[in-house]
Amino acid sequence: MVKEGYYFGVPLLLLGGVSYLLQWNSVAVVAVLLALFVFSFFRDPERVIPAEPGAVVSPGDGRVVVVAEEENAGRPGKRVSIFLAVWNVHVNRSPAAGTITKMEYRPGKFLAAMRERASVENEQNIFTLSTEAGELMFKQIAGLIARRVVSWKKAGEKVARGERIGLVRFGSRVDLWVPRDAEILVKVGENVKGGSSVLARWHARPAADKFDGASVADTDANLTPAGKRS
């Protein structure tokens, strides 16, 4: 269980104990049940992280609600959105290994996380992650009940695939955006687990493939006259 669980759960247990001593039995029962719910909500189970090359894992537990083509800053790509219900694990994980090059907090609304507009309009943390294959993005998005997105990382930090990066409290949504050349492996309606379910396959390009026409032209321009073909 993450430490936030103790902040919310222990006071409820104390309230239940005091209420029991005062013979306020109904209050005691409600307080203890709420404490058990809080402890369950903030649970943080270990996960087996896939080691296969190119695997992009789920940032969170829940149900896939969107798989769609979507541009990001003019780049063609694909988005996978996952809805986290109150009974799901809410600890979020990095979908791939790399460096967090940018982390942006955006204040916003608290629409129900199931709604499509929540990806754009709700309060959220946006992570830009530089990996061996290129750059991807993922979001922590607050929902109708979840009113706070919490990040344990900051820009410039390196993260491993499946590493814990934060949580969203009490029901939320996570989004993953990958470039067009990534292969999406999940469908709408599937249930996934953060850190262990593979959402996409995205292999790093061989070094030889990273040279484009401009690079070849630059190389040719640097050759001496004797080294050029006539």
DSSP run (H or E) holding 217: helix 213-221
Its sign, for the CA torsion 83, 1, 200, 161, is: positive
Q: Which residue in 40, 172, 196, 215 is the catalytic one? A: 172
Q: Token pair of 181, please?
A: 């050349």
String of b and e for 44-75 (b: at least 16 CB within 10 Å)? eeebebbeeebbbbbbbbbbbbebeebebeee
Whole-angstrom Cα distance, residue 204 to residue 4?
A: 37
C-alpha distances out from residue 133 to 86, 179, 205, Å: 34, 10, 6
Q: Has 58 been annotated as catalytic?
A: no
Task: Catalogue the active-site residues.
Answer: 172
